[in-house]
Amino acid sequence: MSVGRRRGVNALTVAILGEALIDFIVGDDGAYRPHLGGSPYNVAIGLARQGVAVSYLSPFSDDTFGDQLRDSLIREGVEVPQARRSRWPTSLALVTIDEAGLPTYRLYREGIADKDASFDEIVASLPADLQVFHTGSLAITPSQLPKVRKLFDLMQSRGVIVSVDINIRLRASLNTKAYLDGVRSLMELADIVKASDEDIEALQLDPDPRRSAELAFGAMKSGMLVFPEGRGGAVLINAHGNIEKSAYPIANIEDTVGAGDTFHSAFLAALLRTGQLNKALNEISQDSLGDAVDFACAAAAINVSRKGCSPPTQKEVEDFIESTHRPR
Per-residue pLDDT of the chain (328 residues; tens, 9 = 90+): 445 544 444 455 899 999 999 999 888 888 999 999 999 999 999 999 999 999 999 999 999 999 999 999 999 999 999 888 999 999 999 888 787 767 788 889 889 999 999 999 999 999 988 999 999 999 999 999 999 999 999 999 999 999 999 999 887 887 889 999 999 999 999 999 999 988 999 998 888 888 999 999 998 989 999 999 867 799 999 999 999 999 998 888 877 788 999 999 999 999 999 999 998 999 999 999 999 999 999 999 999 988 878 999 999 999 999 998 766 5
- Dihedral of the alpha carbons of 67, 95, 267, 239, in degrees to the nearest 10: -130
Residue 152's identity, in one-letter code, is F
Contact 77, 293 (CB under 8 A): no
What is the fold of 13-323? UDP-N-acetylmuramoyl-L-alanine:D-glutamate ligase (3.40.1190)
User: pTM of the prediction?
Assistant: 0.93
Of the candidates 317, 308, 309, 222, the residue with the CA atom closest to the CA atom of residue 26: 308
**Domain spans of the chain, in order of start:** 13-323
Contact 112, 88 (CB under 8 A): yes
